[in-house]
């Protein structure tokens, strides 16, 4: 079973990297970009028995720093 964990900065937390990407996009002539926030995607290959609770605990204990980051878990259906 595979799962994806999306880690994003909490709203209101300053994102200097997102800001730099935003400036670079503007520098390339892309207009109409209102804001950019950069995050992380972590792909997990897990035993079938892994519960949602287990994945959430992984996020809380290591994958995300919940002081500044939110996380979202997406389980991927097994492709036959």
Q: Are strands 69-76 and 40-45 parallel, antiparallel or unpaired?
A: unpaired
Say if residues 40 and 15 touch (Cβ distance below 8 Å): no
63 near another protein, judged by CB under 8 A = yes
Query: From the CB of 47, what's the least distance to another protein, in Å?
Result: 21
* The one among 31, 32, 61, 77 contacting another protein by CB under 8 A: 61
Give residues 8-47 in contact with another protein (rule: CB under 8 A): 13-14, 16-17, 20
Phi first, then psi, for residue 46 (nearest 5°) are -125, 155
* The one among 31, 35, 48, 62 contacting another protein by CB under 8 A: 62
């Amino acid at each position: 079973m595979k799962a994806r964990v999306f880690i994003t900065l909490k709203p209101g937390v300053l994102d200097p990297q997102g800001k730099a990407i935003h400036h670079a996009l503007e520098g390339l002539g892309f207009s109409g970009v209102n804001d950019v926030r950069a995050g992380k995607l972590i792909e997990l290959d897990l035993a079938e028995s892994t519960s949602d609770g287990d994945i959430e605990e992984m996020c809380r204990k290591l994958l995300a720093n919940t002081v500044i980051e939110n996380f979202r878990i997406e389980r991927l259906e097994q492709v036959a």
